[in-house]
Every structure is written in C-alpha cells, then in structure tokens.
Amino acid sequence: MLRSSLEMKIVTGTAHPELARSICSYLGVPLCDATVSSFPDGETFVKINENIRGRDVFIVQPTCPPTNQNLMELLILADAARRASAARITAVIPFFGYARQDRKDQPRVPITAKLVANLIVAAGVDRVLTMDLHAQQLQGFFDIPVDHLYALPVMLNYLRSIGLSDLVIVSPDVGGVKMASAYAQALDAGLAIVVKRRKSATEIEAVTVIGEVEGKNVIIVDDLTETAGTLVGAAKILRSQGARNIYAGVSHTVLTDLAVERLKGSEIKELITTDSVPARADSAARVKVLSVAELLGEGIRRIHDDESVSSLFDISNTKTT
C-alpha cells in the first residue's frame, strides 16, 4: 500500500512497456498515458497526456537495443516530466546500456558511461533505480542518488525450485568472482572460475578451469551476455573437465542472432535470465525468463514512501536457512 502524500505516476517509453505494465500491476496503479513516437526524419516525439504537476514520476526505460533510440526516449521523457512540473523524477533503468564503456583503456577513447550519467542528470532526473550494473562503481558516475538492485533473489528462487545437487557456481572470468561467490554462498555450493582469453569482440577462448567441476552440476553466472561467446566457451571447457549438467544464470540477456545460434549448438542446458530487457521469441527453447517486475515494483514503492531500499540489495540476506 502506498503511503506517500504525493501521487505516483509511472511512465514508459517504447523499450519495454510489458515490464512497465507488470510493475504497475504489482503496485496496483495504472500506467500513465503518454505518447512516444517518431517523426518521419527519425526524431523522437513525446507527450505526457495526463497532469503530472506535483506528482512522483517514475520513468521505466531500459537502455537496451536500439540503445541510442531508447536512451533518447528516456532523456526526452525526463525533460517532458520536468517541464510539466513533476515533484520528483526517478529513472527506472533495469538494464543500463553503455555500462561497459566505464574507463579509458585505450588512447583517445571516451568514458561513455559517465557521459550517459551526465546526460540523465542534465535531463532533470532526481534519482536512478537500476539493476546489476556491469560495474558497481558506475553508481559514482551519477551526481544524484542511485539505488542498485540485484537479480540474485529472483534467480535463487528458481534455482532452488529445480533442486540441483552437487552444485558448483562458475564465474566465466576473474571479474565475476564476487557475483559467483554470492550465489555460491546463498546456495551452499562450490565455486570455480574459468580463465579466458578474448580473441575479438565476439570471440572468446576459454583456457582452463580453477576449481573442481567433475561430476558436478554447474551454473555459470554473469551480469550480461550479448553474443554468448563467453558462456558457450566456458560451457565447452567445463564439459571437457567432466561437468554434468551445465546451466547459465545471466541478469541481462541481450541476444544477437549469433548468440541464438551459439546457444542452440552449445553445452548449456538452460539459460536462466530476467525480463530486464524484452526476450527474443526465437530463443525460448533454451531460455528461461524470470520476471523482475515485483523486485523493481517494491523498489519503486519504497522510494515513493521514503522507506529504506537497502534490504532489497543486501545479498547477504539471501542465504538458505
């Protein structure tokens, strides 16, 4: 039940209206009527068709592909809400695009993640609610409060329901050890790491496995997959090391055509993911999509009611009792 004196308004662009409607269903509020379309020259047009003066506005818009289009919609929606005198504007970004461009790792390249954060703040957003950022330090790129949720509780409920025994959680690279460790602790499972070498932007070579996986059920966990090169390469070497059933748990699945083909011929029995971005229909046979509408909806409710959001992203509370 909502307790804030401000009326809540939830607005969505065209990136993922199904998720926005599911969030509204959880909260028991209607989706705000808004027009989001394009002019013949490709420019984005936005009009909020309801009075939002003095309202608490939440804009639900993952910046998934088409990334630039969806990002511009978010910025223009925020500007429209600000100019319509909204009391507070929160950008709900389940998937934050450009998150991997977070540092200068080559000469003369931008830090695009910081640029995007600056644009969101400049558009008039007062707060950001997001999930499973590629790097947690991205929260510091914003000069406004950021609430960072994790898909882990949603994933754990499903993983426990399928009752896998002799379980090992696998990080597909050294950078993902913290996430894998959280899953392993919550599921009382073992932990392993795949050491990989990137050959190109779309091709990964898995080199070796650190940890015992022979005869074990394994779950490869990661925050994002697009081409599935890392997952498929990791699964191949895990099979060669004697792993039994191989699953993958990925927070954000932005599957390309190449990824769908790779998954079809891979050792991965099931890819478990969330609806932070719209799911591809042609990948349904290998992909299990879990909804994060309740998780995001609860985050929105707590922000709206000025309650603590910290318990929603405290992964230490997810351990099996």
As given in the structure block, the two tokens for residue 307 are: 């309650």
Distance CA 61, CA 213 (A): 39
**Helices and strands per DSSP (H, E), number in the chain:** 8, 14
What backbone torsions phi and psi does residue 18 show, to the nearest 5 degrees?
-65, -40
Quote the distance between the C-alpha of residue 274 and its chain's center.
7
As given in the structure block, the two tokens for residue 43 are: 């420019």
Q: Please check whether residue 246 is in contact with residue 269, taking contact to mean a CB–CB distance below 8 angstroms.
A: yes
Active site residue 104: no
Distance CA 37, CA 14 (A): 8
Burial class (CB in 10 A: 0-12, 13-18, 19+), 282: exposed
Point out the catalytic residue in the list 47, 196, 216, 319: 196
As given in the structure block, the two tokens for residue 64 are: 């998934």
Distance CA 267, CA 132 (A): 25
Gyration radius of the chain over CA positions: 20
List residues with catalytic annotation: 196
